[in-house]
Structure 1
Amino acid sequence: MSRYAQIRGLGGLSVRRNEAGYEDIRRAAVWNTLTPARFPDVIVRAESAGDVVHAVRQALSQRLQVAIRSGGHSWCGSPLRDGGMLIDLSGLRGCAVDPDSATATVQPGVTGGQLTSELGRHGLAFPTGHCGSVTVGGYLLSGGLGWNSGVRGPACASVEQIEAVTADGEPVTCSQNENGDLFWAARGAGPGFFAAVTAFRLRLYPHPGAIASTRWTFPLANVTEVTHWGTELAAGLAPNVEFSFSLGTADPGTQPGPKVVTVTGTAFAASRQEASGFLRPLRHCPLRQSPLSRQLDEPTTFEALYDSCAAVWPPRLRYAADTLWSDTGVPTLLSELAEVVDSAPSNRSLVLAPFSPAGRPPPDMAFSALGESYVAPYAVWDDPRQDAANIGWLREAMHRVEPLGTGHYIAEADLTAASSRARRSFTADDWQRLRSLRTRHDPDGVFCSYLSPDEAAL
């Protein structure tokens, strides 16, 4: 008899390694086409919260370790592990909005774009991720640095309750007042969380009456001057303005072009007039260098913002990414990275540096912003023959700035790197608390911990 008996009561799909269709399903479990060579023994595509309960109990009976996928980007392919069971939650796509209480109950497979569209029908909004194709499950568990985070904070701060399946296969409800330790860990622990979340109750906010963006683009050679100007400017902007720098190629999706530094401010406001007022400090640039292009107070929508991000991070490409928190100023960090960007083997690769993307969150969650500055290099390419060159480029970019770092953002950190990426994504106290909670709630290690080679056991 097969070691992997049929999962009783399962409504979704279950496929074992070496069965027909396994490889297609394994590859589909990672959005990135740079698919890791890691092979679960069995993959379960759940269609309901009940399916998750059945799958975890089956894993327990067969002594299989469990990994969880919600359907987001996960650049390093964290859900794919060798051996054990992968439970795919991307089929859990329920979304129930209660306009009267300004809350929504959302399952992990709902994408940010779908959630935004549904909430917009009720005049409501939520700080979803910047890419509309990212599902809410992994995004919320990792903290969630999304749209308008200067006002709303990390998205996990707006999670009021979760429904989860624990390491003993039991469904539980977690909130500040019920199973509070699990709730604390669920808001920030990311891919090391030791339960399977099947639903989130979210606190919602009024939909902005107007969104507008201002953008300036300059030659990369002017990065130091541009970032000094932008950093001084950003310090005085209203928190409703999401401000960022990026280093990369102008129009990378069309043809090779000049390397540029781009300054972008996006205002979320009650009216077009208010949005223009928020962006007024960005209207005039005192730099002697003429910009290559500019866009002033351009009206936009969430849908258009998602389209812009999809153009930068399109599907069916190969990706490697990493993150760094730092107390060093953005001008110094980006000046270090500009030379690396200039020599990138792919014209699609870039570095993103949001200005104060999440502020300082309250102390009742695992997530924390670990520095005053934040940078994220992305290697983006399409030719498998260039894998080594592009991954090497990412490593070189991080090598330049990591000595200036104070930590990493667990959602997009390169957890395959042979260093303490996971541990350095939390304060020392929070890391110890996560270790203690895992020992208490998952003593047998049913759920996979972090992918980092030296932290797999937390």
Structure 2
Amino acid sequence: MPAPEAHQEVGMSEHGESSGIEGVLVRRGDAGYETTWASELWNDLKPERYPDVIVRAASERDVPQALKLARSRGLRVAVRAGGHNWWGSPLRDGGMLLDLSGLRRWEIDDNSATATVQPGAVGSEFAAELARRDLAFPAGHCPSVALGGYLLSGGLGWNSGLWGPGCASVQEITAVTAAGEAVRCTEDEHPGLFWAARGAGPGFFAVVTGFRLRLYPRPAALATTSYVFPLAAVEPVARWAVETARELSANVELSFLLAAADPSLTVDRPHAKVVTVAATAFATSRPEAVRALRPLHSCPLAERPLSRQLDEPTSLAALYDAARELWPERRRYAADTLWSQEDYASLLAKLGDALTTAPSAKSIILAPVSPVSQEGELLRNMAFSVLGESYVVPYAIWDDPARDDVNIAWLREAMHTLQPLGTGHYIAEADLTADPSRAQRSFTAPDWERLRSLRAEYDPQGLFFSYPDGS
């Protein structure tokens, strides 16, 4: 896709000699701009929004230099850690994109069970290193997600029913403000900035260069139980699974997946859709894992499952492999989220109907049951909030660029059907471009007002872009 001409001339060399930036600096119009622009998002679907300048930081030292340059040139700033946002929030028209994906270091202190990580560190790689030390952290489910954007948005990850959202384990951040000052933020120092960094997402008004994280003992035994049913049975399946979920301990992660069936399960119906109920126990021993999953051993439904798997041993590496199959690279994605007070049976019945009309057979519906611990202590002092009893995430997934409009239209129509039942959105994956009020509806009313007040305090000149709104 060719890049349009720049909105303004920035007047710097490609490698930033005149800016004091050690990393790579690319202007719109430079020979390498289009390739650099395309690589800023993991998703093959990329919005046609073009920064005037892209800065790829080589170290934390580049961050205040980049902000200084942006202030001097009147450029607004967007920040990227891993470029995994489905709707491309790092890509804005004009301004500067500050790419932190090269800042990938971490330091792990086994004795205190804490780590300091840079924003570009990839969650699955960090988790693998922690596992070698018998430690763990609720990193994101998709293996390519970097920790920076994930933590800033709240972070719904592995075993979050027990450990809470990823941001609940953030003990301290180092941030560079719009004024170029590097500040340490905790509950006592710059407490407002610390609060906002735990859930504000792509509208955060500073640049986080480091997170100090609390770690957990590694669950030594993981096991999974799953059932696959025809999609027509989604309502009774959802009622049974949600009722059974009340008997499950917090270390069991249960979810629904509505998707095309494995052809081996429906040989007579090659395009059939199914609902999968899957539960993974994160336990300290094999017997504990089996006990944790026992409530799911008995399924009283009259509908016979197409397949059943009980207490299958697994590993974090295997879970990440499954996630790679669910969200493969080199695909085009659009996603949206909804919190609701409605029961899962009603929500999934509507979404099941929508899935049968999806223009792509690759599209899926994911619905984690109680996706994050709702204990008050784990959700204390953060912008992220649980905004409903139920949570669903439809994904349009396809290959052909010529089918962009029809797939996005399908997703938005499905969400439009659910909207009257909604109580909010999750800022990390919501379609913020659908209308300008989407970001606001991702927070409680008091939290939204506090975010606005803190933005006025820490970024009074509006150096940082706010939330994308489709404009």
Query: TM-score, normalised to structure 1's length?
Result: 0.97
| 8 A contact 1:72–1:133 mirrored in 2 | no
Structure 2 residue 419 is matched with structure 1 residue 402: yes
| 8 A contact 1:253–1:311 mirrored in 2 | no
157-166 or 4-13: which moved more?
4-13
How many angstroms does 1:253 deviate by?
A: 13
Task: Tell me the distance in 1 between the aligned counterparts of 2:379 and 2:67.
Answer: 32
Counterpart in the other structure of 2:41: 30
Counterpart in the other structure of 1:188: 199
| Residues 180-208 of structure 1 deviation map (CA, whole Å, 9 limit, x = unaligned) | 11000000000000001111000000000
How many angstroms does 1:328 deviate by?
A: 0.6
| 8 A contact 2:83–2:90 mirrored in 1 | no
The within-5 A match list for 1:30-109 is: 30-109=41-120
| 8 A contact 1:4–1:62 mirrored in 2 | no
Q: Which runs of 5+ in 2 are unaligned?
A: 1-7
Counterpart in the other structure of 1:296: 310
Task: Tell me the distance in 2 between the aligned counterparts of 1:130 and 1:401.
Answer: 25
Name which of 408, 417, 432 aligns with 2:449.
432
How many angstroms does 1:293 deviate by?
A: 1.0
Task: Tell me the distance in 1 between the aligned counterparts of 2:36 and 2:112.
Answer: 39
| 8 A contact 2:250–2:373 mirrored in 1 | no
Code of the residue aligned with 1:220 in structure 2: it is L
Counterpart in the other structure of 1:423: 440
Code of the residue aligned with 2:41 in structure 1: it is V
| 8 A contact 1:187–1:367 mirrored in 2 | yes
Task: Tell me the distance in 2 between the aligned counterparts of 1:251 and 1:135.
Answer: 30
Counterpart in the other structure of 1:383: 400
Code of the residue aligned with 2:336 in structure 1: it is D
| 8 A contact 2:226–2:278 mirrored in 1 | yes
Task: Tell me the distance in 1 between the aligned counterparts of 2:330 and 2:175.
Answer: 31
172-181 or 77-86: which moved more?
172-181
Counterpart in the other structure of 1:355: 369
Counterpart in the other structure of 2:285: 271
How many angstroms does 1:250 deviate by?
A: 1.7
Structure 2 residue 462 is matched with structure 1 residue 451: no
How many angstroms does 1:421 deviate by?
A: 1.1
Structure 2 residue 183 is matched with structure 1 residue 176: no
Task: Tell me the distance in 2 between the aligned counterparts of 1:129 and 1:87.
Answer: 22
Name which of 374, 380, 390 aligns with 1:373.
390
SS of 1:444's equivalent?
A: coil
Counterpart in the other structure of 1:13: 24
Q: Assess, with a 3 A threshold, how the Cα gap between structure 1 residues 253 and 49 changes in structure 2: closer, same or farther.
A: farther
Code of the residue aligned with 1:328 in structure 2: it is E
How many angstroms does 1:445 deviate by?
A: 0.7
Task: Tell me the distance in 2 between the aligned counterparts of 1:72 and 1:8.
Answer: 24
SS of 2:138's equivalent?
A: coil
| Residues 192-246 of structure 1 deviation map (CA, whole Å, 9 limit, x = unaligned) | 0000111100000000010111110000000111111111001111111001111
| Residues 95-132 of structure 1 deviation map (CA, whole Å, 9 limit, x = unaligned) | 11000110000011111111101111211000000011
SS of 1:197's equivalent?
A: strand
How many angstroms does 1:177 deviate by?
A: 1.4
Structure 2 residue 171 is matched with structure 1 residue 160: yes
The within-5 A match list for 1:143-154 is: 143-154=154-165
Structure 2 residue 138 is matched with structure 1 residue 130: no
Code of the residue aligned with 1:234 in structure 2: it is A
Task: Tell me the distance in 2 between the aligned counterparts of 1:330 and 1:112.
Answer: 29
Counterpart in the other structure of 1:312: 326
Instruction: State the Cα RMSD in Å.
Output: 1.6
Code of the residue aligned with 2:323 in structure 1: it is C
How many angstroms does 1:3 deviate by?
A: 2.9
Percent identical:
60
Name which of 202, 209, 212 aligns with 1:198.
209
Code of the residue aligned with 2:216 in structure 1: it is Y
Task: Tell me the distance in 2 between the aligned counterparts of 1:428 and 1:120.
Answer: 39
How many angstroms does 1:251 deviate by?
A: 3.5
Name which of 429, 434, 453 aligns with 1:412.
429
How many angstroms does 1:359 deviate by?
A: 3.1
| 8 A contact 2:198–2:382 mirrored in 1 | yes
Task: Tell me the distance in 2 between the aligned counterparts of 1:241 and 1:295.
Answer: 16
| 8 A contact 2:40–2:83 mirrored in 1 | no
The within-5 A match list for 1:213-362 is: 213-251=224-262, 257-360=271-374, 361-362=378-379
SS of 2:61's equivalent?
A: helix
SS of 2:311's equivalent?
A: strand
Task: Tell me the distance in 1 between the aligned counterparts of 2:443 and 2:371.
Answer: 16
Task: Tell me the distance in 1 between the aligned counterparts of 2:211 and 2:343.
Answer: 36
| 8 A contact 2:153–2:198 mirrored in 1 | yes
Task: Tell me the distance in 2 between the aligned counterparts of 1:439 and 1:319.
Answer: 34
Code of the residue aligned with 1:106 in structure 2: it is V
How many angstroms does 1:295 deviate by?
A: 1.2
SS of 1:49's equivalent?
A: coil
How many angstroms does 1:257 deviate by?
A: 3.5
| 8 A contact 1:208–1:269 mirrored in 2 | yes
Counterpart in the other structure of 2:3: none
Counterpart in the other structure of 1:4: 11
| 8 A contact 1:46–1:92 mirrored in 2 | yes
| 8 A contact 1:321–1:413 mirrored in 2 | yes
| Residues 336-362 of structure 1 deviation map (CA, whole Å, 9 limit, x = unaligned) | 111111111111101111111113343
Q: Which runs of 5+ in 1 are unaligned?
A: none
